[in-house]
């Protein structure tokens, strides 16, 4: 009696299964990429709002912030620090908050990279400058976080915005009070609205 022998596997079917798996993997990666692009777009809206806030005339008029490349960077860093502190207020482990903070930081890096390149620096120097700016942002975030507890940002503002040379007391008070009012207003802004660039 002859034994039944199973037919050999069809190599075309095997390739078909692999192709299907590859298409599924590509679909998942495509969805992931779209989610990442959506997050980056949201961070772009928020970062644009941060820059617009930092360019408001009162900082440079009443606040006497130097209207220079350095002064504008310092104000962007100060406003950005207030927004980052707001995001930090979300519950620990909040993945949406963590993703937004990361995307916002990436936007800051992209902007600083473009600014430095526009000045005319080459690739090697650009990396050093952007790295230094990231360090400055981190240091200021820590300084402003600590100063917020005292209710007076004047000391770190004088050090970081006016580079140690104190302006008229009314000017430093104006910037300190305006940043604190801004930070207080951010508390009532939901993370979803913040993601869309709404600061108040």
Task: Report how far apart the first and last C-alpha atoms of the chain are (Å, whole number).
Answer: 86
Task: Report residue 165: phi and psi, to 5°.
Answer: -100, 100
Summarised one tens digit per residue, pLDDT across range 113-135 is 777 767 655 566 666 766 777 78
Return d(Cα 131, Cα 147) in angstroms, integer.
24
Summarised one tens digit per residue, pLDDT across range 30-72 is 434 444 444 456 589 999 999 999 999 999 999 999 999 889 9
**Every domain of the chain and the residues it spans:** 42-196
pLDDT score for 94 = 92
Give CA torsion, residues 127, 128, 131, 133, to 10 deg.
-110
Q: What is the DSSP string of 101-124?
A: HHHHHHHHHHHHHHHHHHHT--HH
Return d(Cα 69, Cα 133) in angstroms, integer.
13
Query: CA angle at residue 89 from 83 to 95, to 5 degrees?
Result: 95
Its pTM stands at 0.75
Return d(Cα 75, Cα 162) in angstroms, integer.
11
pLDDT score for 36 = 47
Calculate mean pLDDT across residues 168-184.
95
38: Cα separation from own chain's centroid:
14
């Amino acid at each position: 009696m002859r034994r039944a022998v199973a037919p050999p596997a069809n190599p075309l079917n095997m390739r078909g299964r692999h192709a299907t798996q590859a298409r599924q993997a590509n679909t998942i990666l495509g969805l992931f990429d779209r989610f990442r692009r959506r997050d980056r777009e949201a961070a772009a809206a928020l970062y644009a709002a941060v820059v617009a806030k930092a360019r408001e005339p009162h900082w440079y008029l009443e606040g006497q912030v130097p209207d220079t490349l350095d002064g504008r960077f310092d104000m962007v860093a100060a406003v950005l620090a207030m927004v980052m502190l707001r995001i930090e207020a979300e519950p620990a482990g909040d993945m949406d908050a963590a993703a937004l903070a990361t995307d916002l930081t990436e936007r800051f890096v992209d902007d600083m990279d473009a600014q430095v390149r526009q000045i005319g620096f080459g690739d090697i120097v650009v990396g050093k400058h952007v790295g230094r700016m990231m360090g400055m942002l981190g240091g200021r975030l820590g300084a402003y976080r600590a100063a917020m507890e005292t209710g007076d940002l004047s000391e770190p503002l004088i050090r970081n915005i006016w580079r140690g040379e104190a302006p008229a007391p009314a000017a430093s008070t104006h910037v300190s009070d305006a940043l604190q009012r801004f930070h207080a207003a951010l508390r009532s802004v939901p993370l979803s609205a913040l993601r869309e660039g709404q600061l108040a």
